[in-house]
Amino acid sequence: MKSIDQLDINGKKVLIRVDFNVPTDDQGNITDDTRIRAHLETIRYATDKGGKVVLISHLGRPKGKRNEKYTLRPVAKRLSELLGKTIPFSDDCVGEPAEKAVAALKAGDVVLLENLRFHAEEEKNDPGFAEQLAALGDVYIDDAFAAAHRGHASNAGITAFIKECAVGILLKNELDYLRKATVNPERPLVAIIGGAKVSDKIGVLKNLVEKVDAMLIGGGMAFTFIKAQGYEVGKSLCEVDMLDTAREIMEKAKQKGVKLLLPVDCIIAERAEIDALAKEASVQAIPSDWAALDIGPKSSALFAEALAGAKTIVWNGPMGLFELEPFSKGTTALARAVADSPATSIIGGGDTDTAVHQAGVSDRISYISTGGGAFLELLEGRSMPAIEALESCGGAQ
């Protein structure tokens, strides 16, 4: 695949697929502009090189119909503030409004088009819709890693109708870092997998256990593994139908010589509420009417020790119910241990991203991915429709 810096874009219409799927409040105000900021380098590069920049994105799930709750208009306003110039907004992403907005562009200008998902054809990867989008650009740049695991018209179908395609700076960085961790990592490679359910991350666990030197498992999913070892876990989250899967992964780790670490102690409570009485307990001694909601201090120390000699760390998923203060200490301690490590550290997933910011260590993480589902699918070793499409760009010409 080519990258944007390998194309001559001076005076050309540069159609960039971004991911401006940002959280908003009930009044439509943007509550976190991280994803907008993540694309600024690509946008500025394109304008500095004389491109006429056309930005396309989705926001939320309007289910193929126009819904003002999901308009990108507030994004255009915020983007204007970040770029220091007015960014015009088109009320549609295809048809006359979009065509007029694009025709008005001069070299170095930027326009943002309305939500792609106001058209059902987007998620259906409709060829006609993809062709309409492609007609708005001379070159196509995909910079939306967070949507790369979706095969939609704007990031998969579109490449068949445009001759020149490339990855943007953000997408290139995402792929470079994640491939560095999964294709030819500097070892030892340690994976930290947390979150609620084993069933959500079976593919990740099965793929990584074949590749890593050590795997640390925390969060709610750890108690499925602990139950699979024969211990009672009280009211802790546990997927009984995943016990055999957990045993299979532990056996595979043993066969491959992978150090698989589970919590040895935990923070338990009778209920998952901020004012609940919380106390430490061994994972082998959880009362039947209590639930484990975080890893304990001994587990935090054990996990930090396992990271000490790591050269590459990949982390997805918190160690507990970190949103509530009594159950946040395990995730915070781990975030600090990862930040203190000299290893290349790569973090993905919204909760994990939030956790490292909450711990105040985000500036000491090597790379924080903008992708949740896409990050997981890459860790699973699965192909990415948008990446495959870029590799075969112009196939219908």
**109, amino acid identity:** D
Active site (annotated) includes residue 309: no
Q: How many CB atoms lie within 10 A of CB 38?
A: 23
φ/ψ of 261, rounded to 5, equals -110, 135
CB atoms within 10 A of CB 147: 28
Q: Is 274 exposed, middle or buried (0-12, 13-18, 19+ CB in 10 A)?
A: exposed
Catalytic: which of 13, 17, 35, 52?
35
Element housing 291 (H / E): strand 291-295
Q: How far from the centroid of its chain's Cα atoms is residue 227's Cα?
A: 29
- Active-site residue (options: 60, 350, 372, 381): 350
Catalytic residue among 124, 197, 259, 298: 197
**Catalytically annotated residue among 50, 151, 309, 373:** 373
Does residue 35 have an active-site annotation? yes
Cβ-contact 113, 101 below 8 angstroms: yes
Integer Cα distance of 365 and 79 in angstroms: 26
- Between CA 347 and CA 368 the distance in angstroms is 5
Secondary structure tally for the chain: helices H, strands E: 15, 15
180: annotated active-site residue: no
CA 122 to centroid of chain Cα atoms: 21
Could you tell me if 331 and 219 are in contact, meaning their C-beta atoms sit under 8 angstroms apart?
no
Active site residue 61: no
Q: Which residues are catalytic?
A: 35, 197, 350, 373
